[in-house]
Amino acid sequence: MLASTTPPRALLCSAAPRSLRRLSGFPCRRKDPALASPSPSSAPSRLRIRPMNWLGRIGLGLGGRAGPAGVDGAAASAIAQGPDDDIPAPGQQFAQFGAGCFWGVELAFQRVPGVTRTEVGYTQGKTHNPTYEDVCSGMTNHAEVVRVQYDPTEGSYEKLLDVFWERHDPTTVDRQGNDVGTQYRSGIYFYTPEQETAARESMERHQQKLNRKIVTEILPAKKFYAAEEYHQQYLAKGGRFGFKQSAAKGCNDPIRCYG
């Protein structure tokens, strides 16, 4: 008998208990943005998308986060499509994972022994210096990801892959539960040939447990753009309701996507 394609409900941000969803009044970051942009002190629940902002990222100078002076559209796109040029701390390695809403994914990786730093952000898109609004517009092709820095002497890349598969449903295209859009796609973005090999072998093993095809993309890591500060360690800092969730190593508490 093949295993279910869906991870345990307690792990999925979008599978929050019905009572919690009623309490919140809306699903985790629903795809219908209409209200004003969030303040840094509050949860970015629903956004007013400014479609013109992302045009600034392709050299039309119409808004968004400022890019380097003198960078035209083609050059900006080349930067976005280039490799991640950040450098991990000495003795550490980077890994990148996209598994839906990055709030809960980050907390899951924060809890892994050997992980020394996590950061949420955007990658694999075609525009330079995207904002959250740009990414939510669906026009930039960025994925929401967590970049994990880990000490390979304390924790393995294979363990990170296990957390990745457990954290989300890798058989849904551009969707995790109520979160719909290309930014929520499933992806493993590797930094080394060894990571690529491990990722593909891990996917083959995981596929044998499922009765639906895995749609996870496995691609070289590209330029990583850190998300706005209010997204970083969002659930550990209290989330929408101010209830901090533990990021302690080895913690197995269910992850509440709303905080």
Q: Are strands 143-150 and 115-123 parallel, antiparallel or unpaired?
A: antiparallel
Residue closest to 200 by CA, chosen among 212, 216, 213:
216
Tokens of 106: 């980050």
Active-site entry in 28, 101, 136, 257: 101
Angle at 97 between CA 41 and CA 229, to 5 degrees: 20
Q: What was the pLDDT predicted at 145? A: 99
Residues 119/105, Cβ–Cβ less than 8 Å: no
Cβ neighbours of residue 201 closer than 8 Å, sequence gap 6 or more = none
Return d(Cα 105, Cα 163) in angstroms, integer.
9
For the domain 9-231, what is the CATH code? 3.30.1060.10
Decide if 101 is catalytic. Answer: yes
E strand residue ranges, the chain: 93-99, 115-123, 143-150, 175-176, 179-180, 186-190, 217-220, 225-226
> Residues for the chain: how many in total?
259
Residue closest to 255 by CA, chosen among 14, 43, 13:
13
**7-57 pLDDT, tens digit each:** 443 344 444 333 333 323 333 443 333 323 344 344 444 344 444 444 444
The residue extents of the domains of the chain are 9-231
Pick from 73-77, 183-187, 193-197: least confident: 73-77
Q: Which amino acid is at 53?
A: N
**51-69 pLDDT, tens digit each:** 444 444 444 443 445 555 5
Question: What's the rounded mean pLDDT across residues 183-196?
Answer: 99
